Amino acid sequence: MYRAKWISWGSAGLAFAILCFVFPWVNNAQKNIGSSSNEWRVADPIRYENLSVFPIVSRQSADTAGFATLDEGLSAGEVVISEGGAEMIRRSRDGRPYAMPEQRGASVNQLVLINRGSKPLLLLAGELVSGGKQDRIIAKDRIVPPGAAPLPLDVFCVEAGRWSSGVQFSAGKLMVHPSVREEAAITQEQDKVWAAVRNGTAAAPPTVPSPARNGGGSGQTSQTVTVTGSALSDVIATEAPTQSYAKLYKSQQVGVPADTFADEVQRRFDLATAKLKGESVVGVVVAYGGEVAWSDIFASPSLFQRYWPKLIRSYVVEALVRPQSNEQPSVDDAREFLKPLVGHESIETEPAIYSLRQVTQGKYVEQELEALRPVEITLHVLKVHRAS
């Protein structure tokens, strides 16, 4: 955090020190991301039902065109993901056989990935890959360079109960909702990932139930689309007996209100951000009821837009399964949420490829993914107020 050095400077120097200490965030929540001079600010929220989305906007942008996303790579056939031990995975980018150091059978928590494209591949925790013996999600943010050896890829299963069928995966084009994503990226325990899928949310119910809304106030409508635990159980029993994440949240009992909810949030988001002058959206802070809970920030507006369709649906699904609340956070609350953490720090790095830094302070966790080549650039910042 920011620290003031109190020395005998006289009244002018003391006033300057106070300004440096008290107002490090007065200039619209500055943060280094993408480049050392990149600054952003928190804009007014878009609100609908129990969801508040605060756009994070910037006048600057890093060059992120040189990175491919998971969905882009899988859809173009430039990225191949298979179960471990699959014969097809033992081939290089140009199709030649590639000797793997160890051949093993399929594993729940590890797949094998080859990046045959010409760009580094960006992976985010919580992205869904569909197929194989079970649907999986990416376990952590990371970068996979082009032309590298077949990569043992850490994953978590989000389809308990099925272990059959094919070996190759396709783009799921889904990001699991924050309660599941939190367990994958931070807790990193398979049982808790399954529990978050099965129960919908890791958030505790409020101690005092909020009264039902009658509409009005900031364009709100009454909360009528909450997905209960019993509804999820019914869907599991009738439509998704293997607890497939995609089936759970695309069912008629769940998917229709999620789509309607997401479309309305998107409409309001587009209207609000269309008014920006000389600024573009690089991320969002997300709140459920009065709790500021989550943020995703990217190095450029274009990179944010490539993930936004998946992200908005994930936030909506979380809103559907969260306890109801009439509370609404302010822009100041969102700015406060984004203040740098001071706590336990850990860094995972793959030399000359990427660095993943995590800081934990109480129930707050921040992760920063930095590409180390061809230039050092912070591609993605995730911040979480842990619900579990």
For residues 127 and 154, give the distance between their C-alpha atoms in angstroms, rounded to a whole number.
12
> Is pLDDT above 50 for 91?
no
Minimum mean pLDDT among 98-112, 187-201, 219-233, 239-253: which range?
Answer: 219-233
- Please give the average per-residue pLDDT across 65-82, as a whole number: 95
For residues 118 and 146, give the distance between their C-alpha atoms in angstroms, rounded to a whole number.
6
> Is pLDDT above 50 for 223?
no
Contact 54, 43 (CB under 8 A): yes
For residues 211 and 162, give the distance between their C-alpha atoms in angstroms, rounded to a whole number.
41
Contact 319, 308 (CB under 8 A): no
> Is pLDDT above 60 for 73?
yes
pLDDT tens column, 232-243? 666 655 655 555
Q: What is the pLDDT of residue 256?
A: 62
Minimum mean pLDDT among 8-22, 300-314, 324-338: which range?
Answer: 8-22
- Cβ neighbours for 369, distance < 8 A, ≥ 6 positions apart: 141, 142, 143, 354, 355, 356, 378, 379, 380, 381
**Which position has the token pair 């079970």?**
134
> Is pLDDT above 70 for 20?
no
According to the per-residue pLDDT averaged within each range, which of 193-207, 217-231, 328-342 is highest?
328-342
Dihedral sign, CA of 263, 224, 326, 310?
Answer: negative
For residues 287 and 294, give the distance between their C-alpha atoms in angstroms, rounded to a whole number.
7
Beta partners for 358? 346, 367
What Å distances lie between residue 101 and 85, 244, 252, CA to CA? 11, 32, 46
Q: What is the pLDDT of residue 172?
A: 75
pLDDT category at 191 given cuts 50, 70, 90 is: very high
On average, the pLDDT of the chain sits at 79
Minimum mean pLDDT among 63-67, 180-184, 221-225, 312-316: which range?
Answer: 221-225
Contact 190, 108 (CB under 8 A): yes
pLDDT tens column, 257-286? 788 889 999 999 999 999 899 999 999 999
- Name the nearest CA neighbour of 349 among 372, 382, 366: 372
pLDDT category at 108 given cuts 50, 70, 90 is: confident
pLDDT tens column, 332-371? 999 999 999 999 999 999 999 999 999 999 999 999 999 9
Please tell me which residue, 105 or 130, carries the higher pLDDT value: 130
pTM of the full structure: 0.79
> Is pLDDT above 80 for 225?
no
Q: What is the pLDDT of residue 17?
A: 39
Contact 131, 168 (CB under 8 A): yes
Please tell me which residue, 175 or 32, carries the higher pLDDT value: 175
Please give the angle made by the CA atoms of 271, 52 and 28, to the nearest 5 degrees. 80
Q: What is the pLDDT of residue 169?
A: 82
Would you state the structure tokens that stand for residue 344, as one six-digit string? 């336990």
- Please give the average per-residue pLDDT across 182-197, as a whole number: 92
Q: What is the pLDDT of residue 130?
A: 84
pLDDT category at 65 given cuts 50, 70, 90 is: very high
217 sits in the region (left: phi over 0; alpha: psi -120 to 50; else beta) called left
161 sits in the region (left: phi over 0; alpha: psi -120 to 50; else beta) called left
> Is pLDDT above 70 for 205?
no
Q: What is the pLDDT of residue 322?
A: 85
Using CB atoms within 10 A of its CB, is residue 91 exposed (0-12), middle (13-18) or buried (19+)? middle
**Which position has the token pair 């991301």?**
33
For residues 298 and 57, give the distance between their C-alpha atoms in angstroms, rounded to a whole number.
10
Backbone angles phi, psi at 13, to 5 degrees: -65, -40
What amino acid occupies position 51?
L
> Is pLDDT above 80 for 215?
no
pLDDT category at 300 given cuts 50, 70, 90 is: very high
